[in-house]
Amino acid sequence: VHNDYAESYAGTESSREYIAQVTFEEAFLGSILVVQVRCVGTCDKCLGSRSELGYTGNICPYCEGTGEETIRTGHITARKTCSYCEGSRIFIKYKCMECEGMGKRMFDRPFSLSIPPGTVHGQVFRMELDPEQLDLPESEWTTKQILWVTVSVGENEQFVVNERDLETNLELSPALALLGGSTVVKTPARNIRVGVEEGTASHSVIVVAGEGLRTEDTIPGDLVVRTAVRVPRTLSWRQGRILRRFASLEPVEVGRTIAGVPSVSDHKLEVNVVEADKIVNLVVKEEIVKKMDKTITATIRDKLGMRPAKPKPSMAHMPHKIF
């Protein structure tokens, strides 16, 4: 129970602190938030007279207009505030039903809060509530109420504000990363076209100047884009054929194989041999030919891949004819 104002449907205490919950976009761009504020003002029914309509107060008959009453306990005499008129010296028999005869009551009024751009989570603002803006009676316009506003900013899965820079991630297709081009990044403010250089890899950083946080008292920040190449899980028949053709043009590296692309070392990997230290099989071993062991005709036939000539039959075992 309060001695200076009456409780109502609006509450029992005036607003001193308010937690404003805003989204990431509202905090980044700035917004106006309408909240309900509880404040104490003059009763709009009795206009502060404390009596019901059509009635008025008279001099308190209990304290005879002094505002104090005498209490005697034995031989001790004391004076205290009159319990009937509560020291106002006016006794109201028919009190106002709205303010319970106090002349003031609790109001619930809408108030517009201005959230500036770049507001961070947990930031506190001190605001003075204008009674004229709260639509209170003119008798209350001389006093202003202080309201402390704590801003709670929601999280965003795509963007993060780092001081004045706006950071985000961008997925690139393999074709866009290899050949280069441009793509559109949708920021809370507007759509921005970002250029992608040829041969851009994952974890690369692209900076777009002047597209970050914009405030009135500082220069605008930058848009920081971190790239990530998105590899498709499945390929069509045409895509697989083109990629295998592209893989066949890459230089050969020892120990690396690509599925579906033939390599010069496939036969060696099948027998788990890459480079032989010693050749024992005479079929595989290269034949060492000494100089002048072969005739010129046999050497030319070997170079051309021709079969060796059939040896002529020896005449030593044949009978000689005598003429």
| Model pLDDT for residues 191-245, shown as the tens digit of each residue | 999 999 999 999 999 999 988 888 888 888 999 999 999 988 888 989 888 888 8
Q: Is 178:171 a contact under the CB 8 Å cutoff?
A: no
Cβ neighbors of 64 (< 8 A, separation 6 or more) are: none
Provide DSSP, 141-194: TT--EEEEEEEEEPP-SSEEEETTEEEEEEEE-HHHHHH-EEEEEE-SS-EEEE
Q: pLDDT tens for residues 8-67?
A: 544 555 667 888 889 999 999 988 888 888 877 778 788 878 888 888 888 888 887 888
Neighbours of 66 (CB within 10 A): 15
Burial 252-266 (b: 16+ CB within 10 A, else e): eeeeeeeeeeeeebe
Tokens 């404040």 belong to 39
